[in-house]
Structure 1
Amino acid sequence: MKKITKIEYQKNNKDRVNIYLNDEFGFGLDLNIMIKYSLSKNMELDDEFISEILIAEDKNKAYNYAISILSRRAKSEKELRLKMSQKGYENEYIDFTIDKLKQNKYIDDSDYSERFILDKLNFSKYGKLKIREALYNKGIDKQIIDEKLILISSEDEFKRSYELAEKKLKSLSKLDSQKKRIKLYNFLINKGFEYDTVKKVVSELLKEEYNGFDD
């Protein structure tokens, strides 16, 4: 058994304390962990109890690290797991953290996907194919991706791609019709629009210039 002989606040972080056992430094703890286990001076601890406390401290560190990551930028579950793994956290602590974050509604791939899609539609001007690929790479479940992207109508895709192509066309004024067409195709395909949408948009924009051109 080891006795707690001193508890002091850490100088640079009043949310943490140092625990001294038998007049020697034992370990540092988050204040909430100390309160959870009702630690106090002269309390005696066996090795099993100390091990339980330290595991709780490690889990708390993992959770706080994840919160700090999410406070800077939203992440998918896969992205957060990768970040924690790269930081050196064991799978046990990563699983614990992810479960707790889900319970507290701090991480939700469905909600994340909605916000990601809106951002890419409104600011990056991506087409559905590029958004799908990006979400897949972030580890979002295929069912979630399908559910969210089905809400984007073909009319919306056409309108956005048309506006992009119309703006792009202004920078291609010195090219002949065929080169303009190729440039517009490549531009819209790289943005992630489906081929049928791209074909329709380019045809609308350049119909007078290459009318009768064999598709």
Structure 2
Amino acid sequence: MPVITKIAVQKNNLDRYSIFVDYGKGEEYAFSVDEDVLIKFNLKKGMELDDFSLTEINFQDDIRKAYNLGIHYLSRKMRTETEVRDYLKTKEVDEPIIQEVIHKLYEYQFLNDPEFAGAYVRTQMNTSEKGTDLIKRELREKGVSSTTIENALMEYTLTKQLENAKQLCDKYIQKYKKDSERILKQKLEQLLLRKGHPHQVISLALEEVAFEKEEDEEMAALRHQAEKAHRKFSNFTGFEYNQKMKQTLYRKGFSIDMIERYLNEREDY
């Protein structure tokens, strides 16, 4: 049975110790352990190590190394349980050891999915353009349970959702001002959908936001689109030219009456 002959702190890692033993042929290096494992098993010079003890020591040391990896990963920012599990898997940590590490991280409150979800919702709600549907999807991808997500999203009230959706619309209305009113509304709806706002919020926001144009503004937008269309169809004349212009401008969301008025004005020049 091997006997511990020397325990020495490692030069490059003061939290780990090298264990030397005598297998009957003289002293040789056997393995290394974390300081916590050294203390837990009361390892000291002259101690005999049987096979069971060696197996348990190595198992506990593997847990400690994986735990330290988890702590380092969590030190950068808050993470979910699933994110920590996935990270440890990339480090080729075995599943039984991962399970032990997760248990310890919960025990010392380094992991807390409800707290993570709440903080994530507050951050996205106050600093991003995201709606609840997108936030929900992102939390699911991070492995947060549906119940935890729903509880966290209660903080993102309908009033706050509507406020954020309207601010987003106001921000982009100027960008799309050269589009027709109908196309502008479609683009705002698509934008809000991409940002993950629910249909109820989109409907309420579009009722309240000032995207409707005065007639002269709509005509100015039509003229802008018509000039681009004219350059495309300038080689056509007469009926064929008018039909192509009408089809293009109608697809751009302008009314037939307004298109006719524009084309009549053009013919007068």
**Considering the TM-score relative to the shorter chain, is it more than 0.5?**
yes
- CA RMSD after TM alignment: 1.7
> In 2, distance between residues paired with 1:196 and 1:19?
66
Which structure's CA Rg is the greater one?
A: 2
Structure 1 letter corresponding to 2:5: T
- Of 196, 199, 202, the match for 1:198: 202
TM-fit CA distance, 1:174: 2.1
* 1:76 alignment partner in structure 2: 80
TM-fit CA distance, 1:207: 5.5
Q: Does 1:164 align with 2:168?
A: yes
8 Å CA contact 1:81, 1:94 repeated in 2: yes
> In 2, distance between residues paired with 1:47 and 1:167?
69
TM-fit CA distance, 1:204: 2.6
Structure 2 letter corresponding to 1:145: I
> In 2, distance between residues paired with 1:106 and 1:75?
9
8 Å CA contact 2:130, 2:196 repeated in 1: yes
> In 1, distance between residues paired with 2:162 and 2:128?
16
> In 1, distance between residues paired with 2:142 and 2:179?
39
8 Å CA contact 1:19, 1:29 repeated in 2: yes
Deviates more, 1:105-114 or 1:163-172: 163-172
CA displacement 1:147-185 (0-9 Å, x = unmatched)? 121232211111111011101112222222122112111
* 1:16 alignment partner in structure 2: 16
What SS is found at the alignment partner of 1:20?
strand
Q: Runs of 5+ in structure 2 lacking a partner?
A: 216-252, 254-269
> In 1, distance between residues paired with 2:78 and 2:60?
26
CA displacement 1:112-142 (0-9 Å, x = unmatched)? 1001111111222211111111111111111
- Of 108, 117, 120, the match for 2:124: 120
Deviates more, 1:105-114 or 1:32-41: 32-41
> In 2, distance between residues paired with 1:64 and 1:153?
39
* 1:58 alignment partner in structure 2: 62
8 Å CA contact 1:16, 1:28 repeated in 2: yes
Deviates more, 1:108-117 or 1:177-186: 177-186
TM-fit CA distance, 1:206: 4.2
> In 2, distance between residues paired with 1:177 and 1:207?
7
Instruction: Within 5 Å, give how 1:1-215 maps onto structure 2.
Output: 1-22=1-22, 23-206=27-210, 208-209=212-213
8 Å CA contact 2:10, 2:18 repeated in 1: yes
What SS is found at the alignment partner of 1:144?
helix
TM-score of the superposed pair, with normalisation by structure 2: 0.75
* 2:240 alignment partner in structure 1: none
Deviates more, 1:200-209 or 1:66-75: 200-209
TM-score of the superposed pair, with normalisation by structure 1: 0.93
Identity across the alignment (%): 30
Alignment size in residue pairs: 212
> In 2, distance between residues paired with 1:114 and 1:59?
29
Deviates more, 1:141-150 or 1:111-120: 141-150
Higher relative contact order (CA 8 A, sep 6+): 1
Change (3 A) 1:81 1:210: farther
What SS is found at the alignment partner of 1:17?
strand
8 Å CA contact 1:181, 1:206 repeated in 2: no
> In 1, distance between residues paired with 2:9 and 2:108?
29
Structure 2 letter corresponding to 1:135: L
> In 2, distance between residues paired with 1:210 and 1:120?
35
8 Å CA contact 1:125, 1:160 repeated in 2: yes
Whose strand proportion is higher, 1 or 2? 1
8 Å CA contact 2:185, 2:211 repeated in 1: no
What SS is found at the alignment partner of 1:159?
helix
Q: Runs of 5+ in structure 1 lacking a partner?
A: none
Change (3 A) 1:210 1:43: farther
